Structure 1
Amino acid sequence: MDVEKLYSRRISRTERLWLIANHILPPYANQIVVEGHGEIETQRLKDAIAVASEANPGSRLVLKGHLSFAKWVDTGITPPLFEASAGQWSGTSSEGMPGLPCELPERTGPTCCVQLIKGDPIRLVFYSHHATMDGRGTAHWVADIFKALRGEAPIGSDFDLNEMQFVNSFNKERRPLTPREQIVPVAKPIGNDPGVTWRRRRITGKFSKLLGKIAVFVAAEARKHADGTVKVGIPVDVRRHQADIRATGNLTIGINVDVTPDMTPVQVAESISGLLAENRDLMLGKVGNWIDFVPLCLMRRRIEERMNKQFETGRYYYSALLSNLGKMSLDMYSGGGFEATSIFFIPPGTEYLPFFLTSTGSGDHIELLISMPKRLANEKRIDTLIDDLVRYLESADATGVHS
Structure 2
Amino acid sequence: MMSKSATTADNDRFARTVVPFEHWYLGFPTGLSPVLNLVVEGAGRIAAAELRRAVAAAAEYCPGARLARHGSRWSDSGQPPPVRLAAGTVLDRGTLNDVAELRRPLPVRGAYCEVVLFDGEFPAVAFRASHAVMDARGLRMWALDVFRALRGEQPEGALSVTTVAELDDPLIAQADAGSQEFVLPSLLGVPADARFGGYRWWRRSVDGTFPAVAARLATELARLTGQSTAPVSIPVDLRPFHPEVRSTSNFAVTVSLQVTPDEGWEATQQQLLTVLSERRGTVRAPGPEVLKVPLGLLRMIVRGVDRKARRTDRFSSVAGVNSLGRTSLDAFATDDFEPSALYLLCPREPASPPGLNVVESEGRTELTLSWWPGKETEARAERLLDTLCESLSPAAHRAQATLLPPVPADRGAGPTDRTVVELFRDQVRSRPDAVAISGPEGEMSYRELDRRARVIAAELRARGIGRDTVVGLCADRSAAAVTGAWGALLAGAAYLPMDTKHPDGRLRALLQDARAPLCLTQHPHSERDFLPDGCEPLVLDDLSYAADPAAPPTPPAPSDLAYVVYTSGSTGHPKGVDIEHRSLSNYADWAVREHGIGPHTRLPLLCSLSFDVAQISLVLPFLVGGTLLLMRDELDHLSLQEVIDDGATALALTPSHLDLMTRLGLRPGGVGTLMVIGEQFTRALALRAREMFGPECRIINLYGPAEATIGVSHHVFDAERDTGANVPIGLPQDGVSLFLLDAERRFVTPGETGELYIGGVQLARGYRGRPDLTRQRFVRLADGTRAYRTGDLARRLPSGEVECCGRIDDQVKVRGHRIEPSEIAFTLETHPAVAAAVVVPRTPPGRTDRALCGYVVLRPDVPPVEMAELTDHLLEHLPSYMVPAAMLAVEEIPRTVNGKVAASALPDPFADAAAPGDTTPLSDPEAAVAKIWARVLDTDVEGLGPASDFHQLGGDSLAMIAMVAEVAGEIVGAAGAEAFTRRAPDFLAQPTLARVAGLAETVRTT
TM-score by length of 2: 0.37
In structure 1, what is the Cα distance between the partners aligned to 2:385 and 2:212? 18
Aligned match of 2:24: 17
Matches within 5 A, 1:150-299: 150-167=151-168, 172-175=173-176, 177-194=179-196, 195-223=198-226, 230-260=230-260, 262-280=262-280, 285=285, 287=287, 289-299=288-298
Q: Deviations over 1:282-336 (max 9, x none)?
A: 967584x443211112122122211121122222123211011111111111126
Q: Check 1:37–1:239 CA distance in 2 against 1; reply closer, same or farther (3 A cut).
A: same
1:95 match: secondary structure: helix
Amino acid at match of 1:79: P
Q: Deviations over 1:231-272 (max 9, x none)?
A: 111111101112232111111111111123533211111111
In structure 2, what is the Cα distance between the partners aligned to 1:6 and 1:181? 47
- Conserved in 1, the CA contact under 8 Å of 2:355 and 2:371? yes
2:92 match: secondary structure: coil
Amino acid at match of 1:152: E
Amino acid at match of 1:51: A
1:280 match: secondary structure: coil
1:76 match: secondary structure: coil
Matches within 5 A, 1:382-393: 382-393=381-392
1:369 match: secondary structure: strand
Q: Deviations over 1:59-79 (max 9, x none)?
A: 0011101xxxx1111110011
1:253 match: secondary structure: strand
- Conserved in 2, the CA contact under 8 Å of 1:177 and 1:286? no
In structure 1, what is the Cα distance between the partners aligned to 2:207 and 2:11? 50
Please report how far the alpha carbon of residue 82 of structure 1 lies from its aligned counterpart in structure 2 after TM superposition.
0.6
Q: Deviations over 1:350-393 (max 9, x none)?
A: 24322111111112111111111225973422122112221232
- Conserved in 2, the CA contact under 8 Å of 1:234 and 1:321? yes
Aligned match of 1:354: 353
In structure 2, what is the Cα distance between the partners aligned to 1:57 and 1:282? 33
The structure showing larger relative contact order (alpha-carbon pairs under 8 Å, at least 6 residues apart) is 1
Aligned match of 2:50: 44
Compare 161-170 and 109-118 and name the one that shifted more: 161-170
TM-score by length of 1: 0.88
- Conserved in 2, the CA contact under 8 Å of 1:341 and 1:363? no
Please report how far the alpha carbon of residue 85 of structure 1 lies from its aligned counterpart in structure 2 after TM superposition.
3.5
2:69 match: secondary structure: strand
Matches within 5 A, 1:128-147: 128-147=129-148
Q: Deviations over 1:186-239 (max 9, x none)?
A: 23433224411111111112423322221122123233xxx6962111111101
1:46 match: secondary structure: helix
- Conserved in 1, the CA contact under 8 Å of 2:235 and 2:255? yes
1, 7, 11: which is aligned to 2:14?
7
Aligned match of 1:148: 149
Please report how far the alpha carbon of residue 89 of structure 1 lies from its aligned counterpart in structure 2 after TM superposition.
4.0
Identity %: 27
In structure 2, what is the Cα distance between the partners aligned to 1:3 and 1:246? 13
Larger radius of gyration: 2
In structure 1, what is the Cα distance between the partners aligned to 2:286 and 2:363? 41
Aligned match of 1:370: 369
Amino acid at match of 2:22: E
1:378 match: secondary structure: helix
- Structure 1: give runs of 5+ residues left out of the alignment: none
Q: Check 1:263–1:184 CA distance in 2 against 1; reply closer, same or farther (3 A cut).
A: farther
In structure 2, what is the Cα distance between the partners aligned to 1:22 and 1:165? 27
- Conserved in 2, the CA contact under 8 Å of 1:199 and 1:382? yes
- Conserved in 1, the CA contact under 8 Å of 2:228 and 2:262? no
Please report how far the alpha carbon of residue 279 of structure 1 lies from its aligned counterpart in structure 2 after TM superposition.
1.6
Amino acid at match of 2:128: Y
Amino acid at match of 2:44: G
- Conserved in 2, the CA contact under 8 Å of 1:130 and 1:348? no
In structure 1, what is the Cα distance between the partners aligned to 2:121 and 2:11? 46
Please report how far the alpha carbon of residue 340 of structure 1 lies from its aligned counterpart in structure 2 after TM superposition.
1.1
- Conserved in 2, the CA contact under 8 Å of 1:48 and 1:145? yes
In structure 1, what is the Cα distance between the partners aligned to 2:374 and 2:387? 19
Q: Deviations over 1:40-76 (max 9, x none)?
A: 22211111000000111000011101xxxx1111110
Compare 305-314 and 17-26 and name the one that shifted more: 17-26
Q: Check 1:244–1:127 CA distance in 2 against 1; reply closer, same or farther (3 A cut).
A: same
Is it true that 1:62 corresponds to 2:65 in the alignment? no
Q: Check 1:174–1:30 CA distance in 2 against 1; reply closer, same or farther (3 A cut).
A: closer
Number of residue pairs aligned between Structure 1 and Structure 2: 390
In structure 2, what is the Cα distance between the partners aligned to 1:177 and 1:333? 41
Compare 327-336 and 138-147 and name the one that shifted more: 327-336
Is it true that 1:324 corresponds to 2:331 in the alignment? no
In structure 1, what is the Cα distance between the partners aligned to 2:149 and 2:10? 26
Amino acid at match of 2:188: V
- Structure 2: give runs of 5+ residues left out of the alignment: 1-7, 398-747, 750-1006
Compare 3-12 and 359-368 and name the one that shifted more: 3-12
1:192 match: secondary structure: coil
Compare 145-154 and 13-22 and name the one that shifted more: 13-22
In structure 1, what is the Cα distance between the partners aligned to 2:67 and 2:185? 38
